[in-house]
Amino acid sequence: MSTFKPALVVIDYETALLTGEASVEFYRDDFRIDSMAWSYRDVNNEIKSGFVEGEDRIAKILERLVDDGIPI
């Protein structure tokens, strides 16, 4: 039995500086990703989605996607 892997995962994320101000300046030392949502089509072609908050939790999900070779 094989494990289903989506062909593509689409992500959206919310960012903030340490001050809480939104920012897209990823090169700054105080740039943070606060939350992330993702969507993909499952084996039945139905859209599935999820949401997570926190840098550590976001990093774990992104690492798992990369390790599984799934395009983001």
Amino acid at 13: Y
**CA distances to 1, 3, 8 from 12, in Å:** 31, 25, 13
The confidence score (pLDDT) of residue 53 equals 94
The confidence score (pLDDT) of residue 50 equals 95
The confidence score (pLDDT) of residue 2 equals 59
The confidence score (pLDDT) of residue 3 equals 79
pLDDT in tens, the chain (72 residues): 457 888 889 999 888 888 878 888 888 888 888 899 999 999 999 999 999 999 999 999 999 989 988 877
